[in-house]
Amino acid sequence: MAQKRRPIELKFHVTEGEREIIARKMELVGTKCTAAYLRKMALDGYTLKMELPELQELVSLLRRSSGNLNQIAKRVNSTGRIYDTDMEELLQSQERLWAAANDLLARLTPLK
């Protein structure tokens, strides 16, 4: 009897949702052989582990900005006025958000 070309068997478990995702990806590349697809992905595919403190900073800025905006909206609703300092605070907050977003995009651009 001839020896198998690939004598080592690897096994792993997936959830139903993960199996559906694998099936959809297999359809996209036009393959029906799960073993061939998984072998190809394991050998030639790649994974990214992204540590992005810039994203955490952006989320923090968004939270603070929305909190400030809510406080200003409450004050405007109760007094019927918006103050120059409120507008200046909003503009500075927006500038910090855009700067953080641009920094994040600059860091992600090389990954294309």
6-33: pLDDT as tens digits: 899 999 999 999 999 999 999 998 989 9
The reported pLDDT for the residue numbered 35 is 93
The DSSP letter of residue 4 is P
How far is residue 97's CA from residue 59's CA, in Å, rounded to a whole number? 9
Task: Output the pTM of the full model.
Answer: 0.50
Task: Return the structure tokens found at 99.
Answer: 């700067």
Instruction: With respect to residue 88, please indicate whether it lies within any of the assigned structural domains.
Output: yes
pLDDT at position 3: 76
- Residue 7 has, within 13 A of its CA and on its CB side, a CA count of 3
Decide if 4 is inside a domain: no
pLDDT at residue 63, as a whole number: 92
CB 37 within 8 A of CB 29: yes
Closest listed residue to residue 96, CA positions, set 71, 43, 49, 59: 59
Evaluate whether residue 102 is within a structural domain: yes
Instruction: State the total domains in the chain.
Output: 2
Tell me if 6 is assigned to some domain. Answer: no
1 part of a folded domain: no
Same domain, 103 and 68: yes
Mean predicted confidence (pLDDT) in 1-5: 75
- Find, among 101, 90, 107, the residue nearest to 57 by Cα: 101
Residue type (1 letter), 109 = T
Find the length of the chain.
112
Q: Does 5 map to a domain?
A: no
Whether 60 maps to a domain, the answer reads yes
pLDDT tens figures, 38-59: 999 999 987 666 777 888 888 8
> Which residue range(s) make up the domain with 27?
12-46
Together in a domain, 101 and 63? yes
Number of neighbours of residue 89 by Cβ within 10 angstroms = 16
Residue 42 falls within a domain, yes or no? yes
| pLDDT for position 18 | 96
